[in-house]
Amino acid sequence: TAVAGGGVRGGAAGRAAAMDLFGDLRRMNKRQLYYQVLNFAMIVSSALMIWKGLIVITGSESPIVVVLSGSMEPAFHRGDLLFLTNFHDDPIRAGEIVVFKVEGRDIPIVHRVIKIHEKENGDIKFLTKGDNNEVDDRGLYKEGQNWLEKKDVVGRARGFLPYVGMVTIIMNDYPKFKYALLAVMGAYVLLKRES
């Protein structure tokens, strides 16, 4: 019975907090509300501008990615945040860590280049493998594809921050947590008053 009582008290506290939130919104005049909405829109648009700027500077469509599996351990662990560049005039070399997209798969893959075939006309084909995997990636490529080409590369790893991306993994694994976090952040920005 103590657990049930705690649940009721917890539910009542949650309803009271929600009522306080709506009470704050009602007490705000229209001008303050418009100001807070514009403030929120400015934060979102600034984040998008920074992201687009990073795309231009790095040459990569995804300048920052999170490692989602343990296939590159011990070099990278699940949750590491990778910083990528993708300058097309830089040659791809064996031993380099690349992020590539394969036709038919939505999520890019982070693996190491293990073999390169360079033709006389300058075209390059290469094979990848995860450091922690037993076999190369031919089983991950689309059917009938044995090699990757430069067009498949999203970026090349240039640096990383360990485990910073765990927040992204948690939000993907638990979508309710993601929506709750976004709601709290949105409410904070809307209700924060300037001193």
CATH of the domain at 128: 2.10.109.10
Set 60, 80, 111, 152: catalytic member = 111
> What is the predicted pLDDT for the residue at 159?
93
Q: Is residue 7 part of a domain?
A: no
Are residues 107 and 34 both part of a single domain?
A: no
**Tokens 């430069």, located at residue:** 150
> What is the predicted pLDDT for the residue at 20?
64
Q: Is residue 54 part of a domain?
A: yes
Q: Which helix (H) or strand (E) holds 127?
A: strand 124-129
Name which residue leads in pLDDT, 164 or 11: 164
Is 80 considered catalytic here? no
CA distance 148 to 137: 10
What percent of the chain is predicted at pLDDT more than 90?
Answer: 44
Q: Is residue 10 part of a domain?
A: no
Beta strand pairing call for 153-161 and 81-85:
antiparallel
Name which residue leads in pLDDT, 25 or 146: 146
Are residues 54 and 87 both part of a single domain?
A: no
pLDDT exceeds 80 at position 34? yes
Set 137, 152, 173, 195: catalytic member = 137
Structural domain total, the chain: 3
Are residues 95 and 143 both part of a single domain?
A: yes
pLDDT exceeds 50 at position 172? yes
pTM, rounded to two decimals = 0.70
Are residues 147 and 68 both part of a single domain?
A: yes
pLDDT exceeds 80 at position 13? no
The average confidence (pLDDT) of the chain is: 83
Phi, psi of 73, rounded to the nearest 5 degrees: -65, 140
Amino acid at 109: I
Is 88 considered catalytic here? no
Q: Is residue 158 part of a domain?
A: yes
Containing domain of residue 96, as a range? 64-162
How much is the average pLDDT of 146-165? 92
Angle between helices 166-173 and 175-191 (to 10 degrees): 110
CA distance 173 to 169: 6
Q: How far is CA 66 from CA 32, 80, 102, 124, 182, in A?
A: 38, 6, 17, 27, 19
